[in-house]
Structures are given as structure tokens and as C-alpha cells.
Structure 1
Amino acid sequence: MDLAERRPSDILVTYRIETAGSAEALAVKIGSDQSTGTFVDLPGETPQLKARAAARVVAFEKLDSVEVPSLPAAGEVFNRAETTIAYPLEAVGTDLAAVTTVALGGVWSIKEFTGLRVVGLQLPPEFEGVYPGPQFGIEGSRRLTGVYNRPIIGTIIKPALGLTPDETAQVVAELVASGVDFIKDDEKLMSPPYSSLEARVKAIMPIIRDQEQRTGKKVMYAFGISDVDPDEMVRKHDLVVREGGNAAVININSIGMGAFLFLRRRSSLVLHAHRNGWDLLTRHPGLGFDFSVYQQLWRLLGVDQFQINGIAAKYWEPDASFVQSFHDLQKPIFSAADRPLPVVCSGQWGGQAPETYRRTEQTLDHLYLCGGGVVSHPGGPSAGVRAVRAAWDAAVAGIDLHEYAKSHPELAQSLAKFGSKTVSEGR
């Protein structure tokens, strides 16, 4: 296969393709179908037009074939390859809707595929500054919480649904007294009739403000403000701001890129992204997207904090996938300012701290978020927070958790409850 040259302004997308036919022919078909071509020759598709607007194959590598296709298909052997397609910036522009339509979305409709996964995205320098990017990110999150030289320790209000505003406030009062840095609504909680956002904000924020006045520490509380109506979402944002709040949980896949950008351009809150629904796009290894691709779009739009699961998570994602996601978020797209704060979550308690510290190469720039691992502690939520803090102190100091627990009773209680299951079981 003759490969085209890359141009500095090209949008480069790498696909892992699988087909019962020729992988080389299918790579060429991607470039044609997703730019200037169709199923028949076109009189207007001149060499001059193609030179300006046609996508081109710039890299191609055969992979081992497989006997079982990713999608049901007839055949005995299915050919696989990785190919990089260059999309001319002149044809696509810097509109992310165009990028997702041309380079990411429509490719799956090509019928010859038995498998297709987008595994790489490289945007040219022309995208820098087009979108707002994180407003707070790592440095802003640290500044607002006053936490440096250790992970920001956070928790989630549990039960996720069912608590009244007053009941939620009781949990918050205990948590802020414990020295927790961050609290959030569960992603499933937005503004149900029994616990409207307005009632919840008015019950919680006086506790946050009182704690700040007494101690100087303002706990960051992220309220769930997601809404399919961008104007309503901004109204909710403004309510939180008026009461002195500084963060919001946004279900990014539920509201979409346009609504998120609408909010980001008007926001003064830290935007904490929950990616529920992401698993549908990535869980099958032969289909969908790698997180390295997906996260770039949301970072450009302005995510400040990004949930990515954790070590021994309660969900399906393997540890290696979490570690890769963590490092993906640490890499600048264009500058260090476009890095959001990684949020380590999903079935976390202090027991995973040493392995998290080791596997993330001793990077402390993250939010360590524990739900049940804090609020279900035998000594209560406050003890749960102290147990997690102790676990991280031990991890950074290189001290075995069981040894450290001899002088830290909350950690000992945590190990006794959660440690009865191995860490690999995601407790």
C-alpha cells in the first residue's frame, strides 16, 4: 500500500480495523467514504478537489488475524490492522461536531467492518485556544480546597437516592467536621421532587460556610446540576454560585458536548465530569473508543475534574485500563493548563492507596474519591475519612498499612471491615 505524507495541519485518527476481506482496501475506503467519495465515481471528485479535501492513509500495520469476529459475521478468518487516516483541516475545520461526524462517528456504518475501534487522535495546533479548556483543572482544584502535597480526599453522599435535604445535611455536617476536602452528590441525584436542588443547596451550604468561618477550610461540594436544557442547567449553576458553592457534577454523556460548552462558557464552578454511559462506547475491546481519544474532546470543552475509576474498581474496568486513563489525563494536549484533575473512584477505600500510589508513579495530583469506603466505615463517615487519610500517609511514607494501623485505630477498623475481601475484589 502506498502511504500518503502527513501534513502539519492534518487531523490524525488511528483505527483498529477488523474485516473478513482486505484490511488494506478497507483502510482506503475509510478515507474515501469519510471525506470526498461515495459508492460510485463522482464527476466532481477531481484530483484538485481530492488534494484539498480527501482523507488519506498515512500509516498501516497488519495485526494478527482472529477467528471470532467482534460483530457477528460469516467467515473463518478475520483480518486485523491498525491504520492512521489524515483528515485535512481545510475540509473538517476546528469544529468538534465536524470532527466527531467525519472522523469518529460515521465510520461505524461501513458494512465491511466486523470490528472497528478508534485508538488514537492527534489534533493539530490550530485547535489550541478554539475551545475554553479547563477553567480550574489541577491547580484550581488544589487552590480551592487548600490541599497540596497529597491527594484531595473526597466522598459521595450515600445512599445515592432517597435522602431528604435535611438528612443529607446531617451527613454533610459530620463529614465536614472530619476534615474531608471534597463531597459530591451521586451522579444519579439531580433535582428529584423529594430533594430538589434548591432545597439541597439551602440545607448544605450554611454548613459549608459555617465550617469555613470557624476553621478557614472550605470544603468543596459538587452539586448535581445536569439538565438536558442548557438554560435550566445555567439557572441551577447560578443558584449554587449565589449560595457560595464552587463545584458541580455534570453527567457529560447525558447532556452532550453542545450543552456542556454552553455551560462552560458561563460557568464559575469547578466542573466535575461523570462519564456514566461511557462503558457502552468502550467495553467491547474490538469496538468503540479508547479513553485516550474520548477524553481529549471533553478536556478541550472544559472539564476540570474527570472520573476514571480506580485500582480494583467495583466495575468491570481492569487496573491497567485505569492506569492508562490516569496517565492520559496527565499528558498535555497543547499545554499543562489543559490537564483536568484525575478522579480516582469506584469502590475505593484506603486499602487501594499503596497500589494506586505505585501504579500512578507516585503522582499525588488527583482526587481520591471514596463513597461506601467512607460512609460505611464502622466508626461512621468521619472515621472513614480519617482512615483514608491515614492510608495515604502510610502509602507515601512506604509503611505497610497493617503496621500503620497499629497506631491509627480508624485505619485498623477499615482494614478489619473492608480488608476481609482482597483488594482485587474491588471493595
Structure 2
Amino acid sequence: MTGKRDDSTIRVTYRLEIPALPGASLEKMAEKIASDQSTGTFTELPGETEEVRARCAARVVAVQPLESTDQPGFPRPEDPPGTHYLRGDVTIAFPLEAVGTDIAALMTITVGGVYSARGLSGVRVMDFDLPSAWACHPGPQFGIAGSRRLMDVAQGPMIASIIKPSLGLTPADTAQVVRELCEAGVDFIKDDEKLMSPGYSPLADRVAAIMPVIEDHQQKTGKRVLYAFGISSADPDVMMRNHDLVHAAGGAAAVVNINSVGYGGMSFLRKRSALCLHAHRNGWDILTRNPALGMEFRAYQKIWRLLGVDQFQVNGIAAKYWEPDDSFVRSFGDCLTPIFSEADCALPVVCSGQWGGQAPETFRRTGGRLDLMYLGGGGIHGHPMGARAGVTAIRQAWEAAEAGIALADYAGTRPELAASLARFAR
């Protein structure tokens, strides 16, 4: 959203789609949603006075038509053959007095009921424009600057890796992989999001095996690699015990499966946390994969940043998952767009099948922004010359990207990058 902030309202932009039936219009649908989600219902009420409406009624403040379509966003078998569908972005202002600053209230009033509105063939939450009162939420504790400080990386991309195989390694096995990655020269290592505290690798045993490796590497080299342990739990008390276990052992970061722990769990954790919180958004795809339904990342990530996410995974160019490159680029930019100040920006984590070959396009599409973590899994572990060469190849790829040199040319005197191109290029 653009324009001057209105501190008396919460403005939500929805992408609506409706069948172009007689009497239907985007304006009427927007007015219906505004009424249903605030003071109104299906009929007139004696208690819905002008005073009540002035204080708490939502109102439509903008309607921007978009290109119409002949295909509904989601099935509507009741529509007659040949039905045309109107599309547009509508912005509805909800009085701050009626919602307050509670996230559960925001999601209930402005989001939850909208999907059930009758007469829609598409509805997607595109953005929240939040008033200054919402700065009451803690936001990132470390963010970009703090992440750089913890990794001692003053400039350029932060090079990271993930434990592979994702599941099945014992704590001792994992510690050996950590040692190899530390020696390879990474700045950051993380547990896979699926790794929390399984029977074959309890968190306590994993912490006890890994932290001495981190300490030993720092003693030898002066470099303290930042390791993020998976601490997620649906029970906030268990999650805090996991947090305390990591912190007591000298750990400084945690992987949090944000959709699994929920808003309340994240709020509980952030208010007590001393760790840098690395967000994995698994489950977000349910909200966004159908472009006519759900929620845009721009809206979704604002809530999690306000709750305290420091680092946010956003996939990457030519990701191994379904997400188009354009969606990744938007997500990357969203993380770096302030809500209230630069301090509430989250470090974008470029991930999902990244090996270095995507570095030039990532650099170009993101406008040369280097405030990012570049996370390689198979692209590091699967390098034919070993993990050390995998990390070196990624660093060489980013050097080439920044210098504007084609990877094939830069690889001429750099065997690690050359081997990476031969193995992974497609």
C-alpha cells in the first residue's frame, strides 16, 4: 500500500473476483464484506445506529478494477454457462477502535470471515496497512544487522547450509557433518525444519554433540559459525525449555516452524527469547498456491515480522518447489520493506535447490541487494569435490554475479565453480 498512514484505521486490501451477473459489482461486494465483517448482518438492526456505525463500521475506501476473466478462480457450478467474472483490488478500512492491536482480533475480523462470503469466485488478502499503534509488537530482536553481527559477516551474502540427510542422522553423525561444514567455511548451519526432537536424535543430545564442534572451530580459527537448532513445539512451555537448552549450551539461533507453533506460540517465544529466530514457513503454500484464494506473502510476512521473526525463508530462483521466480522476487522485497522502520526488516533467506548457478539471476532480479542469506543443501553436500568445494563454488558464483562476469568465464580458473556447473547446471 502507498500513501500517508492513517493511524485511526487498519486498511486491508483484498483481491476479489465475482460472477458478472445482473446487478453484481465489485463495489457492492466490497460494501457487503465491510458490513458483514464489522457492524452489519443480513438485515437491518435497531441497534446499528449511526453512532455505532461511525465508531465501528468498516468502510470501502478504494476499488481498483483489474482485467476480467472467463474462468472462475475456484469452481462455481451454480453459475450459468458463459458467465464472465469481474476482478479487482478493494481496500477496506476497519476502525482501530473496533479491532485494537491484537493479532487474533485482526485475523478474525479482517480475514477469517471474508473467505465465507457468498457470491465470490475468488478472494485473496493482498496487504495490511497497519497504524502506528501496531508498533507495540516486539518485531525482530536481531534482524539483518544482528544476524550479520552473530555471523561476523559485515557485508555481502551470508553463506549457509543445512544438515543433510534431512532425517536419520544420529547426534554424532550430525556433529561430523557440522564439522565438515565449519571447515568448509559456511557462516550459518541449520537443522532441517523436519528435525525437532525425534527418538533417534533428541534435541538435548544433538546440542551436546554439536556445540563442542562449534566451540572447537572458533578456538582454532576465530570464526564462530551460527547454528540454528529446531526447537518448535505446539506446547509453548516445551518450546521454551528447548530454547533454554540451546541458550545454556552457548547456542544463538533457532529454527521455528511458524505455522506449526502459531501466533500465540511465536509471541510467547519472542517475549522470552535470547536466540535469533529463523522462520521456516512450511504450510504457507496452502494459503497462497491458488492465486484466487488465500493470502499474499506481503500480508502474511508482516504479521510474523511483528511477532519477532529475524530471518525468513523465501525460496529462490529456479527453486526445487512449485513457486515461480516472480513470487520469490516479491517475497524477497517484502522482507526488506519496513513496516514502521528499518529495524523491523527480516533477513531474507534464499533457499530451495540453490547451488550457486542461480546467484547471477538472484543478484539481478533483487536489484543487487546483498542483505541475504544464501542457503545451499544439496548444492554444497552434493558437490563432486566435497562440501568445502561446494561452499567455495557458491562464493565464487556470488563474486561473479557482483562483478557482472558470466559464470562459465569465471569458472575458467576456478575448478570448484567449474565442477559445480558441470554437476548441477541444467
Q: Does 1:341 align with 2:332?
A: no
Q: Letter of the 1:58 partner, please give it.
A: V
Aligned to 1:30, which of 22, 30, 33? 33
Q: 1:161-209: per-residue Cα shift (whole Å, max 9, x none)?
A: 1111111111111110111100001101111000111111111110000
Larger mean CA deviation between 117-126 and 220-229 belongs to: 117-126
Does structure 1 conserve the Cα–Cα contact (< 8 Å) formed by 2:384 and 2:420?
yes
- Which residue of 2 is the match for residue 148 of structure 1? 154
Larger mean CA deviation between 47-56 and 395-404 belongs to: 395-404
Aligned ranges for residues 399-418 of structure 1 at < 5 Å? 399-418=405-424
Q: Letter of the 2:86 partner, please give it.
A: N
Q: Does 1:93 align with 2:92?
A: no
Does structure 2 conserve the Cα–Cα contact (< 8 Å) formed by 1:137 and 1:341?
yes
Q: Letter of the 2:89 partner, please give it.
A: E
Question: RMSD value over aligned CA atoms?
Answer: 1.2
- Which residue of 2 is the match for residue 13 of structure 1? 12
- Which residue of 1 is the match for residue 304 of structure 2? 298
Aligned to 1:243, which of 242, 249, 252? 249
Show structure 1 runs of 4+ deviating over 4 A. none
Q: Letter of the 1:42 partner, please give it.
A: L
Aligned to 1:223, which of 226, 229, 248? 229
Q: Letter of the 2:196 partner, please give it.
A: M
Q: Does 1:212 align with 2:212?
A: no
Distance 2:338 2:88 in 1: 28
In structure 2, runs of 5+ residues without a counterpart are none
Q: 1:362-382: per-residue Cα shift (whole Å, max 9, x none)?
A: 111010001111111111112
Q: Letter of the 2:205 partner, please give it.
A: A
Q: Does 1:65 align with 2:72?
A: no
Distance 1:82 1:242 in 2: 49
Q: 1:204-246: per-residue Cα shift (whole Å, max 9, x none)?
A: 1100001111111100111100000000000000110111111
3-state SS, counterpart of residue 121 of structure 2: strand
- Which residue of 2 is the match for residue 121 of structure 1? 128
3-state SS, counterpart of residue 327 of structure 2: helix
- Which residue of 1 is the match for residue 285 of structure 2? 279
Does structure 2 conserve the Cα–Cα contact (< 8 Å) formed by 1:386 and 1:410?
yes
3-state SS, counterpart of residue 193 of structure 1: coil
Q: CA deviation at 1:65?
A: 2.3
Distance 1:373 1:121 in 2: 36
Q: CA deviation at 1:81?
A: 2.0
- Which residue of 1 is the match for residue 87 of structure 2? 80
Larger mean CA deviation between 63-72 and 225-234 belongs to: 63-72
- Which residue of 2 is the match for residue 425 of structure 1? none
Q: 1:82-121: per-residue Cα shift (whole Å, max 9, x none)?
A: 2100000011111111111101121101121111011121
In structure 1, runs of 5+ residues without a counterpart are 1-5, 422-427
- Which residue of 1 is the match for residue 263 of structure 2? 257
Distance 2:376 2:99 in 1: 42
Q: Does 1:51 align with 2:54?
A: yes
Q: Letter of the 2:28 partner, please give it.
A: A
Distance 1:379 1:63 in 2: 51
Distance 2:74 2:370 in 1: 41
3-state SS, counterpart of residue 350 of structure 1: coil
Does structure 1 conserve the Cα–Cα contact (< 8 Å) formed by 2:257 and 2:279?
yes
Q: Letter of the 1:17 partner, please give it.
A: L
Aligned to 1:378, which of 378, 384, 389? 384
Q: CA deviation at 1:139?
A: 0.2
Q: Letter of the 2:132 partner, please give it.
A: P
Q: CA deviation at 1:64?
A: 2.7
3-state SS, counterpart of residue 35 of structure 1: coil
3-state SS, counterpart of residue 153 of structure 2: coil
Q: Letter of the 2:37 partner, please give it.
A: Q
Q: Letter of the 2:326 partner, please give it.
A: A
Q: CA deviation at 1:356?
A: 0.7
- TM-score after normalising by structure 2: 0.96
- Which residue of 2 is the match for residue 424 of structure 1? none
Aligned to 1:201, which of 198, 201, 207? 207
Q: CA deviation at 1:394?
A: 1.5
Q: Percent identity?
A: 62
Does structure 1 conserve the Cα–Cα contact (< 8 Å) formed by 2:26 and 2:63?
no
Q: 1:388-421: per-residue Cα shift (whole Å, max 9, x none)?
A: 11111121122221222122211111111001x1
Distance 1:394 1:19 in 2: 48
Q: Letter of the 1:104 partner, please give it.
A: V
- Which residue of 1 is the match for residue 272 of structure 2? 266
Q: Letter of the 2:72 partner, please give it.
A: P
CA distance 1:7–1:151, change in 2 (3 Å): closer
Does structure 2 conserve the Cα–Cα contact (< 8 Å) formed by 1:249 and 1:274?
yes
Does structure 2 conserve the Cα–Cα contact (< 8 Å) formed by 1:225 and 1:250?
yes
- TM-score after normalising by structure 1: 0.95
3-state SS, counterpart of residue 86 of structure 2: strand
Residues matched between the structures, number: 415
Distance 2:363 2:86 in 1: 39
Q: 1:258-279: per-residue Cα shift (whole Å, max 9, x none)?
A: 1001001111111000000000
Aligned to 2:395, which of 389, 399, 418? 389
Does structure 1 conserve the Cα–Cα contact (< 8 Å) formed by 2:6 and 2:131?
no
Q: Letter of the 1:355 partner, please give it.
A: E
- Which residue of 1 is the match for residue 364 of structure 2? 358
